[in-house]
Structure 1
Amino acid sequence: MTLLTERTSEERGASPHPPLTRHPLRAEAVRGFAPWAGAAMTLTLVVTLAVGSEQWQGGWAETRDHVHTAAMLLGVPLALAAGCWQGQRERRRGTEELLATAVRGRTAAFLASALPVALWLVAGYAVATALALLATWYCAMGDRPHLGTPLADAAVLACAALTGQVVGRLVAWRLAAPLLAAAGYVVLGVVGYEHRGSVRHLSPFVDALSTSIPVWWQPLMTVAWTGGLTAAAVLAYAARRRTVALLPLVAAAAAGTLLVHTGDGLWHTDPLTRRQVCDTSTTPQICVSARYKGLLPQITEALSGMTGRLEGVENLPVRFEDLPGRPGPDEVELPMITPIGWSVVRGRLADPEEYAWAAGMALQGRGDCDEVAPRVAAADDAVEYYLAPSPLRRQFDERYARGSAAERAELRERIAARERLASMGEEERRAWLSAYFATRNECGRNGVPAL
C-alpha cells in the first residue's frame, strides 16, 4: 500500500508533455558564425554606399545600380568567403569523423550548416538595400523603384554562400576562403567591366546604364542560371545519388543559353527617359526628363531670372529639352542633370546660379564655334552678364585686369558692352536681343548687332 502511494505521487509530479526538441537550424541560426556574417554584409554594403551617396541618392535607377554593383563586387566575394569558412568548420574542430556517424544524412547535415549562413547574408543585404531605398525615397526625383534586380541579387548572394560551403568542405587549406573571395572579385570585375561579348551576360554583374532597365524575365533567368549551377554543385557533393545533379544543371544550361542568345536585348531604354515633363509658362519652355520631374520646379525657379529678362524677346528657341541626342532646330539642350552628384545632389540643385549661367550659355548657340570675332565675343559676354552671369565672373575679370595689355583692353571693351546693354530702354533692349538671337548660331560677325 505504501509503495502504491509513492508511485502515484511520482506520476502526479511528472510533466504530462515531453520536452520539445528544437530544430538544429535554430541553434546554427542564433549562435555562432552566421549572425556575424550577416552583420559583416550589412556593414560592408552600408559603408560602401554611404561613401558615394551623393552619386545615387535621389534617383531610383542610380540607387539600383549602386546597390547592385556593391552587392556583386563586394557582397558576392564576402558570401563566398563566409560559406567557405563555415564549410571548413568541422575540419578545424577535428569533428569530421564524429559528424559522419550522425543519424542525419549528408544532405541534411550540409543544409543545417549552410542555410543559416546564406539566410543571414541575405538578411544583411536586405537591411542595407532597405536603408538605401529609404535614403532615396525622401528625395526621389520622379522615377520609380526597381525591385527585380535587388531580389535577383539576394538569390545570387545565397547561391554564392552555398557554393563557398561546398568549396570549404572539399578544400582543407585555411587560405581557401580569402583566395576564393579574391577570385570572385576579379572574375566579376573583369567580366562585368571589360568583356564585350555575349558571354558577359552570364555574369550576375553587368555594368549597365542608369537609363536602361532589364526585361522582366532577365532577373528570373539570372537566378535560374546561378541557382542551377549552385544546386548542381550541392547535389553532386551531398546527395546520395549524384546523378540528380544533372537536373539543375540542365536548367542552368537552358537559362544560360537564353541569356547568351539574347545578349544586349536583355536591357532596353527606360520609357521615362524618352518622355518630357514641361513648364510651358516660360519662354523658352523648360522640359526635363520624366525620370527627374521632381526637379522641374527647382529648375524653373533657378532660370526664372533669365526667363523673366527674355519676356517679349523674339527668335528664341521654343524650349529647353532634356532628351538623348542633339536638340532640334527650335530647341536648346538643358544643362546636364546627370550624372547625379555634380549639378544635382540628393534631389537638389547644387548651385542654382551656376546652372542658370550654363543655361544662358546654351542659349547663345556658339558652343560649336572654334573661334568668334572679338565684337561677337563682346556681345556674347554682355548677354551672358545680363541674363545670368557666372558666379565666377568677378574672378575672371580680376584675372584679366592683372593680365597683359591686350587682356586689359579686351576687359574694358567687354565692360563697356555690358554697360551699353544695361543702359538701354526696355523696348530698345528687347529689339536688340531679338536681333541678337536671330544670329545665335553664327560664328562670324556678319549679322550680329553691334553694341
Structure 2
Amino acid sequence: MTGRKQQETSAVRGSAAPEAGADRPVRAAEGPDRTARNAPRSGPAPVPRGQRPFRGPLRAELTRWFGPVVGATVLVTLLFTMADKADLWLITWISTADHLRTAGLLVGGPLTAAAACWQGGRERRRGTGDLLATMSRTPLRRALLAAAPTILWPVVGYLLTTAVCLVATWRYASYGRPWVSLIAADATALGALGVLGFLAGRVVPWRLAPPLVAVSTYLALGLPGYSESAVTWLSPALEHSYPWDRPLWWCAPVSMMWTAGLAGAALLAYAARRRVTALVPLAAAATAAALLMQLGTEGPWRPDPAAAALVCDDGTPQVCASRVHARMLPGASAALAGLSAKLRGVPNTPARVVESETSAAHETDAEVSGWDTYFRRNRITEPELFALNAAADTAAPRSCPTPDAHTRADDISTAVVDWLAPIPGLDDLPPPPAPLYTRTLTRLRTMPERERTRWLGRYLAAARSCHLDRVTAP
C-alpha cells in the first residue's frame, strides 16, 4: 500500500510539472499586458480648437437663470413699447431707428442698469467675496465674468427687437435702408449702461441701489434733450424727427467710442491691477465727447436731397410726395380728387400740390402737411382733414404775412376753403359763422359754373400774390 501511494504521488507530481512549465509563457506574456494597461486609454478624437463646444465659466455665467430672464424682460418690454406706437414708426427707416433708440435706451437702459446693479452686489449678498478673492483669476476677469450676463443678454434682447421691427418696416418703407450704424451705437450704449450699473452695485452696498440707479439712468439720458447747451449731444438717446435727413457717417462710431470708452475706463479703474490703464479708454471717451460737443444746433443730422425729392402723379393739379412717403401717394391722390375736380379749369390754380417742408417745393406750389399725421401704415385715415390742409394753402398760402386783426378777406378765404374741401357737420360747430362767410359759401354753392370759375380765378390771383385786400365777395 505504501509503495502504491508513492507511485501515485510521483505520477501526480509528474503531471503537474508540465502545467507549471506551461505557466511560464503566460507570465512572460504579462509584460505587454501591463504596458497596455499603463498606456493612455484610447478615447474620442480631439476636436479642433475652432470647433470646440462653448464651455467654461463664461458659459456657466451666461446660462444661469438671471441673465436670460433679464434679456427676456428687455425683449418683451421693448416689443410691447414698440408695438404700442407702431403706427408712428412704420413709415420710414429713420423713424424706426428713432423709436428703437428711444425705447432701447430710455426704457431698456434703466432696466439694464438696475439689473446689472443687482448682479454687482451678488457676491456681497452671498458672502463669497473673500472666497473668490483666493482664486487664480484676476479681479478684472472675475468682474467681467460676473457682469457678462447683464451686459450681453440685454443687448441680445435689443437686437432681437430691432430685427423684428426692421422686418415689419420693410413692408412700408418707401426709400432708404436700415441705419445699421445707429443700431450698433445704441447696442453699445446699452452694454455700457450694463457695465456702469454693475460697478455701481459693486461699490454701493445698499439693496435700494438698483431702483436709484434706474432713476438716475433715465434722468441722465433724458434731461440733456431739454438743454440747448453743447452737452446735449452727449446723450445717446436723443430723437430725430425729420424724415429727409441722414446722420453724419462718423456720428455712430464716435458715439460708440464715447459710451464704450466711458464704461471701459470705469471698469479698469475699479478692477485692473494697474489702474493707470484706465487713462487709455478715458482719453478716447474725452476725444469723442469733444467731437460730439462741436456739432452745434444741427446736431449729427444733415439734409438728404434724394429723400426729399418729389414723386408726382399725373393729375391736374399734380399731387407730389417726397420719396420717403412715395407709398402714400395713391391715398393722397384719392383724398385730393374732389379738390382737383373743383380746381380743374380755374385760372391761376397751382400746378402742383406738394408735401410741405421739402426743399423741392416752389413758391408757386400749394403745400399740404400732415402726411405723418393723417396716414397710418401708408393708408390715409382722415382724408377730409388732409384735403382741408391742401385747400387752405391753395386759397391762403402760408408764405403770405398773417394779418394782425381779423378782416373781411378772412371770412371770404375761409368760405373758399370750406367749399373746396367740405367737412361734414362743419356748419353745425360753434361759434356761429360770420354773415359774410355764410353768404360767400352759399353763393359759391349756387353760382353758375362759368361765373364761379371766373371769380375763383380772380380770387386765386389776388390770394396767391398776397393781396387779399383786393378780394371782393362773389
Counterparts of 2:198 and 2:414 in 1: how far apart (Å)? 67
More deviation, 318-327/107-116:
318-327
Query: What's the offset of the Cα at 1:346?
Result: 2.1
Counterparts of 2:437 and 2:192 in 1: how far apart (Å)? 66
Structure 2 CA distance for partners of 1:111 and 1:213, relative to 1, 3 Å:
same
- Amino acid paired to 1:194: Y
| Aligned partner of residue 35 in structure 1, secondary structure | helix
Alignment of 1:297 onto 2:330? yes
Find the counterpart in structure 1 of residue 368 from structure 2. 334
Query: What's the offset of the Cα at 1:203?
Result: 2.2
| Aligned partner of residue 462 in structure 2, secondary structure | coil
Find the counterpart in structure 2 of residue 113 from structure 1. 146
CA contact (8 A) 1:143 1:292 kept: no
Counterparts of 2:445 and 2:293 in 1: how far apart (Å)? 65
Structure 2 CA distance for partners of 1:11 and 1:429, relative to 1, 3 Å:
farther
Counterparts of 1:316 and 1:264 in 2: how far apart (Å)? 38
Find the counterpart in structure 2 of residue 155 from structure 1. 188
Residue of 88, 108, 111 corresponding to 2:121:
88
Question: Any gaps of 5 or more consecutive residues in structure 2?
Answer: 1-25, 47-52
Residue of 363, 382, 388 corresponding to 1:351:
382
CA contact (8 A) 2:328 2:375 kept: no
More deviation, 430-439/248-257:
430-439
Residue of 417, 421, 437 corresponding to 2:443:
417
- Amino acid paired to 1:335: S
Structure 2 CA distance for partners of 1:354 and 1:53, relative to 1, 3 Å:
same
Query: What's the offset of the Cα at 1:29?
Result: 1.3
Find the counterpart in structure 1 of residue 43 from structure 2. 16
| Aligned partner of residue 319 in structure 2, secondary structure | strand
Alignment of 1:371 onto 2:406? yes
More deviation, 94-103/153-162:
94-103
Find the counterpart in structure 2 of residue 54 from structure 1. 87
More deviation, 133-142/324-333:
324-333
Find the counterpart in structure 1 of residue 230 from structure 2. 198
Q: Highest CA radius of gyration, 1 or 2?
A: 2
Alignment of 1:175 onto 2:216? no
- Amino acid paired to 1:198: A
Find the counterpart in structure 2 of residue 239 from structure 1. 272
Matches within 5 A, 1:300-339: 300-324=333-357, 328-337=362-371
Structure 2 CA distance for partners of 1:286 and 1:276, relative to 1, 3 Å:
farther
Query: What's the offset of the Cα at 1:123?
Result: 0.4
Query: Per-residue displacement from partner, 1:286-333 (whole Å, max 9, x unpaired)?
Result: 222222122122211211222123222211123223343897542222
Query: What's the offset of the Cα at 1:120?
Result: 0.7
Residue of 147, 167, 171 corresponding to 1:138:
171
Find the counterpart in structure 2 of residue 64 from structure 1. 97
Alignment of 1:434 onto 2:469? no
More deviation, 92-101/265-274:
265-274
Find the counterpart in structure 1 of residue 472 from structure 2. 448
CA contact (8 A) 1:306 1:387 kept: yes
Query: What's the offset of the Cα at 1:173?
Result: 1.1
Query: What's the offset of the Cα at 1:265?
Result: 5.5
Find the counterpart in structure 2 of residue 30 from structure 1. 63
Structure 2 CA distance for partners of 1:391 and 1:62, relative to 1, 3 Å:
farther
Query: What's the offset of the Cα at 1:92?
Result: 1.3
Residue of 187, 191, 208 corresponding to 2:220:
187
- Amino acid paired to 1:334: V
Counterparts of 2:422 and 2:458 in 1: how far apart (Å)? 21
Counterparts of 2:473 and 2:58 in 1: how far apart (Å)? 83
- Amino acid paired to 1:188: L
Query: What's the offset of the Cα at 1:11?
Result: 8.4
CA contact (8 A) 1:278 1:287 kept: yes
Query: What's the offset of the Cα at 1:207?
Result: 3.7
TM-score relative to the length of structure 1: 0.85
CA contact (8 A) 2:66 2:149 kept: no
- Amino acid paired to 1:297: P
Counterparts of 1:156 and 1:255 in 2: how far apart (Å)? 14
| Aligned partner of residue 424 in structure 2, secondary structure | coil
- Amino acid paired to 1:371: H
Counterparts of 1:95 and 1:318 in 2: how far apart (Å)? 78
Counterparts of 1:131 and 1:274 in 2: how far apart (Å)? 24
- Amino acid paired to 1:16: G
More deviation, 210-219/94-103:
210-219
| Aligned partner of residue 366 in structure 2, secondary structure | strand
Query: Per-residue displacement from partner, 1:396-439 (whole Å, max 9, x unpaired)?
Result: 4xx68xx6xxx697787356414423xx24x4443343233223
CA contact (8 A) 1:273 1:291 kept: no
Alignment of 1:220 onto 2:256? no
TM-score relative to the length of structure 2: 0.81
Alignment of 1:285 onto 2:318? yes
- Amino acid paired to 2:232: R
CA contact (8 A) 1:385 1:418 kept: no
Structure 2 CA distance for partners of 1:141 and 1:283, relative to 1, 3 Å:
same
Identity, in percent, stands at 34
Query: What's the offset of the Cα at 1:68?
Result: 0.8
Query: What's the offset of the Cα at 1:147?
Result: 2.2
CA contact (8 A) 2:313 2:329 kept: no
Query: What's the offset of the Cα at 1:82?
Result: 1.5
Query: Per-residue displacement from partner, 1:372-405 (whole Å, max 9, x unpaired)?
Result: 438x846853x44553311333544xx68xx6xx
Question: Any gaps of 5 or more consecutive residues in structure 1?
Answer: none
Structure 2 CA distance for partners of 1:53 and 1:108, relative to 1, 3 Å:
same
| Aligned partner of residue 26 in structure 1, secondary structure | helix
| Aligned partner of residue 288 in structure 1, secondary structure | strand
